[in-house]
Structure 1
């Protein structure tokens, strides 16, 4: 299980006072208002910076990070992922999972026949679609709907599914 979760990626400086534009990779962009700090995943390692100010502009988040005080400082952070610890992550409702926790699950049908490994989650808007790579290297797409997903167990690293007619 991942210790840190990505909430965004710094895209560019914003202005001359060290603010940065962030492309959010979280479902709830308003969560940035509640964050006190973020972890920067830089090439030389991770560092934690406090958030001084949060603004929203179109589909972007504008952050002022403590210690980033000029456009030059902000330029050095271009394309740096922003992470949060699990403790600072959004609280999930029962039956909700972080995508990074689903990747790698062993998927079987309701009769116990192993289908493959969940390798990707496609977010379509209506419902997510799970990409399962089978042993023969083919992929099966399984919609995340209650008729298909019977059980998810992160502890057992497994998912049990019902395959609707035509999925295979």
Structure 2
């Protein structure tokens, strides 16, 4: 069985001519992209390529990464649209009350009154708090700010989240 891998970023494009790639981050851990970090590139078809970060800077809402041995646009071009991943053993232990994105995505969301709202399909990190995107049948996605006043319980074992919606949150 192949080792469990976790996505930390998606390569959305190349940047410049020196082999940099533009990465949409899906991790809260800045150290994932530190110089010397080991990442694995996947095309989603089971092949993994080990990469070592030897350059990192932030640009607008993206991380620009450079990998050892990828020194031109031609070297970096094949990496486009691939996912950057880490192995399970690279996951950091979390503090109590902290969760990995992959643990929260797929959780079913209920109100404290027991009403089923939908399933968390992605997590956005626009600023101060993460926002959980909940897909609902026949309705537009629900955006839930991940703050104590709203998110009451998270049970990653049962894949269940309970929220107390603030006024206007569930309005269409």
TM-score, structure 2 normalization:
0.73
Structure 1 counterpart of 2:122? 120
1:31 aligned counterpart, secondary structure: helix
Q: Say if 1:131 and 1:46 are closer, same or farther in 2 by CA, change over 3 A.
A: same
Specify every segment of 5 or more residues in structure 2 that has no aligned partner in the other structure, as ranges: none
Aligned to 1:6: 7
Moved over 4 A (4+): 13-16, 68-71
Measure the CA separation in 2 of the matches of 1:125 and 1:13: 24
Specify which of 135, 151, 154 is matched with residue 152 of structure 1: 154
Are the structure 2 counterparts of residues 72 and 144 from structure 1 closer, same or farther at C-alpha, using a change threshold of 3 Å?
closer
The separation in 1 between residues aligned to 2:45 and 2:121, in whole angstroms, is: 28
Question: Which residue of structure 1 lines up, in the alignment, with residue 23 of structure 2?
Answer: 23
CA 1:96 to 1:138, structure 2 compared with 1: closer, same or farther past 3 Å?
A: same
Tell me, yes or no, if structure 1 residue 131 matches structure 2 residue 130.
no
Contact between 1:8 and 1:22, CA under 8 Å: does it hold in 2?
Answer: no
When Rg is computed on C-alpha atoms for both structures, the one with the higher figure is 1
Query: Given that residues 9 and 23 in structure 1 are in contact (C-alpha distance below 8 angstroms), is that contact kept between their aligned partners in structure 2?
Result: yes
Q: Deviations over 1:7-58 (max 9, x none)?
A: 3344337766xx543525133443333765322212653223252x522344
> Do 2:40 and 2:48's aligned partners in 1 also have CA atoms closer than 8 Å?
yes
Instruction: Give 5+ residue unaligned stretches, structure 1.
Output: none
1:19-168 matched pairs, under 5 angstroms: 19-23=19-23, 25=25, 26-33=27-34, 36-42=37-43, 45-51=46-52, 54-59=54-59, 60-65=64-69, 72-168=74-170
Q: How many residues align?
A: 161
Instruction: Measure, in 1, the Cα distance between the counterparts of 2:55 and 2:107.
Output: 37
Q: Cα RMSD (Å) of the superposition?
A: 3.0
TM-score by length of 1: 0.74
Structure with greater proportional strand content: 1
